[in-house]
Structure 1
Amino acid sequence: MSTSPQSWTRTERLDADRLVAAVHAETGVRLVVEGPCPGGEVGAAYVRWPDGRRSVLKWRPDTRLDELRAGPLAVCETLRGRGYPCPATELALQVGGAVVLVQQLLAGKPLEVLDHHGLDQALALNKSQEGLLAGRADIPSTNLYLLDDGPGYCLHEPLRRHGRRGAALERRIRSVGAGHPARPAGDDVVHQDFHHGNLLAVDGTVTGVIDWEGAGRGDRRFDLVTLRFGLHAREQAPGVVRRLDDILDALPDDVLRPWWAHMSLRMTDWAIRHFAPGEVEHWLDLAEQRL
């Protein structure tokens, strides 16, 4: 994550000020807000502790802290115990219907373009997630939402209403969902938003992986499908996408197909509701490659 604050919107400023006030009222700790973090779709800001240490303040609306503790925060504790570079959670607080997190600020900036060295590191990190949650049935497995709506994302109705291509894609997604479990089996760590923008690096060396709030248990290879969709957002170094496609093409169809359906639903729905109309076709093109 870049350590330079970006410009605020009025809503972000009000949210950050309100949340640090809630932290102070609840804990007595007075955090100073410096500015918003770049990128992402969920609020995050840089804050400074009374001792001068800097951290990242994050807030997630419509979330229960006990659910985060049972899932994503437990996943991160497991990873950190194995030396995996994910941030420590320094403070977690329920504020009404939202959860406020203060997390360790890791060194590095998000990778804007993934080169072959970066892909090698991403693949190694993904491999290291294998089997880390064996015996942890208490940590929920990831839900693909192929037959029903997710919590604010993976919504089906926007696709049904988005012309012939969108409606046809939604039918194919539901067809895949009818033939596969909603929660794939596995004991690996699944980040569920493992794209190169969530990889921090210094001089090309990955120093951290951020944004674990959707993490759960399943098959680590799901994250490679997420990475592939992330690479579609902009042009990458020559040959990188082809390398990753070759890895995905080697997966069994009954493994790859439901994950591809999930990411197709997730990104196309999000594009319909949040991006410019022309960008929706960009995601439909990718979705249709393997559905």
Structure 2
Amino acid sequence: MPKDSAGHLLPGPVSPTRPVPARIPRPEYVGRPAPARFTGSDIYPAAKIELIREAGRIAAEAIEAVGRGIRPGVTTEELDRIGHQFLIENDAYPSTLGYRGYPKSLCSSVNEVICHGIPDTTVLENGDIVNIDITAFKNGVHGDTNVTFIVGEASEAVTLLVERTKEALARGIKAVAPGRQVNVIGRTIESYAKRFGYGVVRDFTGHGVGEAFHSGLIVPHYDSAPQYDTVMEVGMVFTIEPMLTLGSTDWDMWADDWTVTTRDKSITAQFEHTLVVTERGAEVLTLP
């Protein structure tokens, strides 16, 4: 099992890329080193929003399917198999698969992994937490969401971190309103997280999503981000995905150029939804 003597994660072997039937359309970046620069808009008409909602629903249901398989003794590789199978059975392409060379159909970030953990031979143990991040591509658009699951029973501190990270996302969504700058979202999230002394990760953010996996729009999760002053408009689609830690937000990246861990090995949790700005606030598009 790829953990060191202190119980911290180590990279495990990664299995070959899973096949996707030829009948399922691919995003434009598959087979290329990087996506094309997005030149479209983050504001979508109603018909396109409904397509994003469909992709988001499939992603959310795929996470539910993966969640049913989470238990002590299961590998993150097996969770990737479950998520991959669900997506292709619903005629959706796993957006992460082939994105800038990423080799798997979901991200599985365990314990101290902040984000972008690659499924491998890691065996989940009682008390671990694992974030499952799935994006589905269907009808030319992406729907992006993630959930942190507790494996068995975790300590009170870890359980509260997971619950409060989910609440931080909810509060960020409530801060959405047309006419406001996107940085109000981070101000709301960090003011809540600070009550408990949690670290709020700054270097990985929410983003515009829809026709592009990442459009270029940045949505910060922390306070004091005046540079992110995009004004929210009705029809704008983006993700909010706060990452909170029990310790420092300093991070390291593994040699795979994907897996990001807290430098102090503190536990970290994350939740994410894709949403659309409405006249009254926000509507979540990644619900099962």
State the TM-score, normalized to the length of structure 1. 0.27
Structure richer in helix, relative to its length: 1
Instruction: Give the structure with higher Rg (CA).
Output: 1
Structure richer in strand, relative to its length: 2
